[in-house]
Amino acid sequence: MFKKLFGLKDHPKTPTEETIFTPLSGKVTELTDVPDPTFSQKMMGDGLAIIPTDGEVVSPVNGEIIQFFHTKHAIGIRSESGAEILIHVGLETVSMNGEGFVGHVKEGDKVKVGDKLISCDLNLIKEKAANIITPIVITNSDQVESLDKKISENAIKGQTEFLHLKMKR
* Active-site residue, 88 included: yes
Is 145 inside any structural domain?
Answer: yes
The domain that holds 123 is classified in CATH as: 2.70.70.10
pLDDT of residue 12: 57
User: Which residues form the domain of 103?
Assistant: 23-167
pLDDT of residue 3: 43
Q: Is the pTM of this model over 0.85?
A: yes
Is 55 inside any structural domain?
Answer: yes
Q: Which of 11, 73, 88, 104 is catalytic?
A: 88
Instruction: Please spell the DSSP secondary structure of the chain, one letter per residue.
Output: -HHHHTT---PPPPPSEEEEE-SSSEEEEEGGGSSSHHHHTTSS-EEEEEEESSSEEE-SSSEEEEEE-TTSSEEEEEETTS-EEEEE-SBS-GGGTTTTEEE---TT-EE-TT-EEEEE-HHHHHHHSSB--EEEEETTGGGEEEEEE---SSB-TTTSEEEEEEE--
Is 1 inside any structural domain?
Answer: no
Is 128 inside any structural domain?
Answer: yes
**Per the structure, how many domains does the chain have?**
1
pLDDT of residue 169: 84
Is 7 inside any structural domain?
Answer: no
Is 70 inside any structural domain?
Answer: yes
Is 119 inside any structural domain?
Answer: yes
Digitized pLDDT (tens) for each residue of the chain, 169 residues in all: 444 444 444 445 678 999 999 999 999 999 999 999 999 999 999 999 999 999 999 999 999 999 999 999 999 999 999 999 999 999 999 999 999 999 999 999 999 999 999 999 999 999 999 999 999 999 999 999 999 999 999 999 999 999 999 999 8
